């Protein structure tokens, strides 16, 4: 009696997790390749930060012993990073995020509920950001095909290794 088995990688999360099981270096290479492919979108997001949005944001602000500001353009630009999230309940797998706390506050202030900072910065809809989201979505068209090709090639590599 013969037994036939086929292994299918259903999605990107499973492919990335399988890479780590096969060889952790493969997962590191995948991250590096994804970062290089997404570099135009990362650069577009970084280019959006040109000045301090409100003059008061350049000063130190603290809330309950947690320093939230000052906002600086250099820290805002260096805070734009690519992250790969393979958790079970993750919304996206390959994300471009803002890691700087002051800039993240600027990007999202006032979207969940009305507040004075959000009112001064201007309206931003629920689930939206002020600068990074629109910049990444504009640059996204140029990288989607290449990213999809890389993911399919990686899935093929995983299937061959198993």
Name the stretches of the chain with pLDDT < 70. Answer: 1-10, 162
Query: What pLDDT is attached to residue 2?
Result: 38
Query: What pLDDT is attached to residue 8?
Result: 37
Query: What pLDDT is attached to residue 14?
Result: 83
CA distances from 38 to 98, 130, 145 (A): 15, 20, 11
Q: What is the pLDDT of residues 81-96, one digit of tens each?
A: 999 888 888 777 888 8
Parse the chain into domains and list their residue ranges.
12-161
Residues 6+ positions from 79 with CB-CB distance below 8 Å:
98, 99, 100, 103, 104
CB 37 within 8 A of CB 87: no
Query: What pLDDT is attached to residue 75?
Result: 92
Query: What pLDDT is attached to residue 30?
Result: 87
pTM: 0.78
Query: What pLDDT is attached to residue 4?
Result: 35
């Amino acid at each position: 009696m013969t037994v036939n088995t086929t292994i299918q990688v259903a999605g990107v999360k499973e492919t990335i997790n399988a890479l780590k099981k096969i060889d952790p270096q493969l997962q590191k290479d995948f991250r590096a390749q994804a970062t290089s492919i997404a570099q135009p979108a990362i650069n577009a997001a970084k280019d959006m930060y040109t000045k301090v949005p409100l003059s008061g944001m350049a000063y130190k602000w603290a809330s309950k012993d947690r320093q939230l500001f000052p906002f600086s353009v250099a820290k805002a630009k260096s805070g734009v990073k690519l992250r790969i999230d393979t958790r079970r309940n993750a919304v996206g797998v390959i994300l471009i995020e803002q890691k700087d706390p002051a800039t993240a506050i600027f990007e999202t202030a006032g979207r969940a509920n009305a507040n004075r900072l959000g009112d001064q910065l201007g309206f931003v809809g629920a689930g939206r950001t002020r600068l990074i989201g629109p910049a990444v979505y504009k640059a996204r068209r140029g990288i989607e095909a290449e990213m999809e090709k890389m993911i399919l090639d990686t899935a093929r590599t995983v299937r061959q290794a198993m």
